[in-house]
Structure 1
Amino acid sequence: MKEGYRRVLLKLSGEALMGDLSFGIDPDVMDRIAGEVQELSQLGKEIGIVIGGGNFFRGLSGIQQGIDRASADYMGMLSTVLNSLALQSSLERKGVSTRVLSAIEMRALAEPYIRRRAVRHLEKGRVVIFAAGTGNPYFTTDTAAALRAMEIGAEVVLKATKVDGIYSDDPKKNKNATRYVQLTYGEVLEKRLKVMDATAVSLCMDNNLPIIVFDLTEDRNIVRVVQGEELGTLVR
């Protein structure tokens, strides 16, 4: 077991916040995530978080409804702001100092994203939630997570999902799918493994930033992976 990581970027999917619901946020799931982040913060870990918005609106589904791509993506970005504010509220109820920094300016709700400000918040022990993706259409929150991780000098991107790693195929549809313990960036791209989009993986590859894909649904997995326990699949 390694000593663990000091500064991390945690990527949460919006769908993971739904729990067993079909829409929105499951309060129990949010409270559990906040509790694990609180524990890590008390241990002195520096935590940046990027949350998707798929539990409210996905840009791709908007396109299918006839909305143009750019507008649909902006709507998806606003969904990430909803999730970011909800997580901030949950963390602050637990006494965790938290800041939401948005790539799209909305000063009544969040601070504008400024890299140096984000790093300063982390150095002061605050949890930083990065909202609104990159602020640009055509880029996913996976890409935003990779970008923010590099900007703040994170040691690893932790992608929390509903499965316990990267599989050769969808394990829910194919019982013979095998789980990978470790992969290279090139293998992820070559095999077209849908763990993160190609832009995000390429960014991490170009900057030698490891990715760990792990199961969010198991209690204390966030704490365990940040502390260095070998969970899920490591991409390096």
Structure 2
Amino acid sequence: MDRTGEKRRYDRVLLKISGEALMGDQGYGLNPPTVQRIAAEVKSVHDLGVEICMVIGGGNIFRGLQGSAQGMERTTADYMGMLATVMNALAMQSSLEELGIHTRVISAIPMDQVCEPYIRRRAVRHLEKKRVCIFAAGTGNPYFTTDTAATLRANEMSCQAIFKGTKVDGVYDRDPKIDPEARRYAEVSYDEVLQKHLGVMDASAIALARDNDLPIIVFSLDEPGGFRGILAGEGTFTIVRDA
């Protein structure tokens, strides 16, 4: 039992959210009340004594693939997307620190004036000191998504699970927003996700999680208390792991 008296299933986790999750009802950019709401969800889990790291996408500001599709050189577009993730990470850091949570933004691209460079041992030490670590700028390389970066960092930090916060409460066989008959999986294997193109994460991220036996828990970030509830063994979600 942890200090709150509530059972905890994981001691160290990585939370992956998309940049779009920070938009709220806007079509672009950051919505401060939405950022604050997500920060409060993170705090509720941090209060359980769980060590938390995060990876946030940049699609609310710039998406490399979209830029490439519009004629921009792919490498340049991907670097622009990485910089967008740093902006999102700084916004989340600000909201978390307003709640009294010590937070470090750690970038794969050095920019010492605004965040720390990625050094694995230093990041692990931050987590041991109960600081939230937000990993920004992806892997620091073009052609890799933030999904892959999240899986890579989760393995490097020895996380016990990746929590993928989405707008739906798990993984479905079809889009539940389009098809009301869509069926939610309680559990699904890595290989089934790849074979059926279920869209949990990109193929590289799923393969990396599978090869390191790292479970992925997909849940609704819009459900108040959902993140904390899963840590206590409650709530609705899908877990991706070996069959």
Q: With structure 1 as the length reference, what TM-score do the two structures score?
A: 0.97
Match of 1:165 in 2: 170
Partner Cα separation in structure 2 for residue 33 and residue 230 of structure 1: 17
Gaps of 5+ in 1: none
Write the mapping of 1:31-180 to structure 2, written as runs, cut at 5 A: 31-180=36-185
Partner Cα separation in structure 2 for residue 203 and residue 58 of structure 1: 23
Off by >3 Å, runs of 4+ in structure 1: none
Q: Structure 2: which amino acid aligns with 1:81?
A: V
Q: With structure 2 as the length reference, what TM-score do the two structures score?
A: 0.94
Q: Structure 1: which amino acid aligns with 2:177?
A: K
Match of 1:11 in 2: 16
Partner Cα separation in structure 1 for residue 125 and residue 233 of structure 2: 25
Q: State the 1:68 CA deviation.
A: 1.1
Partner Cα separation in structure 1 for residue 225 and residue 183 of structure 2: 24
Q: CA contact under 8 A between 2:226 and 2:235: conserved in structure 1?
A: no
Partner Cα separation in structure 1 for residue 54 and residue 37 of structure 2: 15
SS in 2 for 1:82: helix
Q: Which has the higher contact order (CA 8 A, sep 6+)?
A: 1
Give RMSD over aligned pairs: 1.3
Match of 2:3 in 1: none
Q: State the 1:41 CA deviation.
A: 1.9
Instruction: Name the count of aligned residue pairs.
Output: 236
Q: State the 1:231 CA deviation.
A: 2.6
Partner Cα separation in structure 1 for residue 87 and residue 151 of structure 2: 21
Partner Cα separation in structure 1 for residue 179 and residue 45 of structure 2: 35
Q: State the 1:230 CA deviation.
A: 4.8
Q: Structure 2: which amino acid aligns with 1:6?
A: D
Gaps of 5+ in 2: 1-5
Q: State the 1:195 CA deviation.
A: 1.2
Q: State the 1:220 CA deviation.
A: 1.1
2:186 corresponds to 1:181? yes
